[in-house]
Amino acid sequence: MCKLIADLIKEEREEGRIEIMIEIAQRMLSKPQYTLEDISEITELSIEEIRELSIKRPA
């Protein structure tokens, strides 16, 4: 039971970290000085994930 709870906590933390990295990437996309490669390196998101965010971003 304890391992199950520990695994759930770990999974939720990872999901939270990913959400934060997505928010950071979205902010960086609004700044022209950052390339997709820069954003990928900083956020650890793939370039494809960042491309998808840039497409979904409101104009």
7-45 residue pLDDT tens: 888 899 989 999 999 999 999 999 999 999 999 999 999
Domain extent, residue 10, equals 2-56
Encoded tokens for 26: 């979205």
b/e string for 35-48 if b means 16 or more Cβ within 10 A?
ebeebbeebebeee
Encoded tokens for 3: 């391992």
pTM here is 0.78
Q: Are 51 and 36 in contact (CB under 8 A)?
A: yes
- Domain count across the chain: 1
